[in-house]
Amino acid sequence: MGRSGGIAVMWNSQSVSVIDSMIGEFSVSIKIVESIGMEWWLSGIYGPCRQRERNSFWNELADLYRYCGVKWCLGGDFNVVRFTAEKSNGERVTKSMREFNDFIQDTNLRDPNLLNSSFTWSNLRENAICRRLDRFLVSGSWEDYFPHYCHKALPRVTSDHCPIELDTSKVKWGPSSFRFENMWLNHPDFKRNIKLWWGEDQISGWEGYKFMTRLKLIKLKLKDWSKMEFGEEELHLREAEARLLVLDQQEGKEGLDHLLMIERENLLLKIGDLAQKEEVKWRQRGKVKWAREGDGNIKFFHKVANGVRKRNFIDKLEVEGLGVIEDEESIEREVLKF
pTM for this predicted structure: 0.59
- Other CB atoms within 10 A of residue 191 CB: 11
The closest alpha carbon to 272, from 297, 306, 290, 291, belongs to: 297
Cα→Cα distances 32→10, 222, 250, 313, Å: 11, 42, 38, 22
Give the ranges where 150-206 is alpha helix by DSSP (H). Answer: 190-200
pLDDT at 301: 59
pLDDT at 311: 57
pLDDT at 139: 93
Name every residue whose Cβ is closer than 8 Å to that of residue 41 and which is 6 or more positions away in sequence.
29, 30, 31, 32, 64, 67, 68, 71, 72, 73
The closest alpha carbon to 78, from 3, 139, 151, 134, belongs to: 134
120 & 199 share domain: no
117 & 190 share domain: no
- Tell me how many domains the chain contains: 2
In a domain, 323, yes or no: no
255 & 190 share domain: yes
Name every residue whose Cβ is closer than 8 Å to that of residue 289 and which is 6 or more positions away in sequence.
none
pLDDT at 307: 57
In a domain, 161, yes or no: yes
Per-residue pLDDT of the chain (338 residues; tens, 9 = 90+): 666 778 999 998 888 899 999 999 999 999 999 877 789 999 999 999 888 999 999 999 999 999 987 899 999 999 999 999 998 887 788 899 999 999 999 999 999 988 888 899 998 888 888 999 999 999 999 988 888 888 889 988 888 899 999 998 765 555 667 777 777 777 788 899 999 988 887 888 888 888 888 888 898 889 888 878 776 777 788 888 889 888 888 888 888 888 888 998 898 888 887 777 677 666 666 654 444 444 455 555 555 555 555 556 677 889 988 888 888 888 888 988 88
128 & 26 share domain: yes
21 & 163 share domain: yes
In a domain, 103, yes or no: yes
Domain boundary pick from 140, 167, 194 = 167
Angle 229-233-235 from CA coordinates, rounded to 5°:
105
pLDDT at 292: 43
35 & 144 share domain: yes
For 160, list phi and psi in degrees, rounded to 5.
-85, 0
Contacts of range 330-335, beta carbons closer than 8 Å, 24 or more positions apart: 332/173, 332/174
Q: Do 84 and 117 contact (CB within 8 A), yes or no?
A: no
pLDDT at 54: 93
First to last CA, the chain: 59
pLDDT at 181: 76
211 & 265 share domain: yes
Residues spanned by the domain of 71: 17-167
162 & 25 share domain: yes
56 & 161 share domain: yes
In a domain, 205, yes or no: yes
Instruction: Give CA 9 to chain center in angstroms.
Output: 15
In a domain, 324, yes or no: no
CATH number of the structural domain spanning residue 152: 3.60.10.10
Strands (DSSP E) contained in the chain are 17-23, 27-33, 39-46, 72-77, 121-122, 130-131, 134-138, 150-153, 164-167, 317-319, 323-325
In a domain, 8, yes or no: no
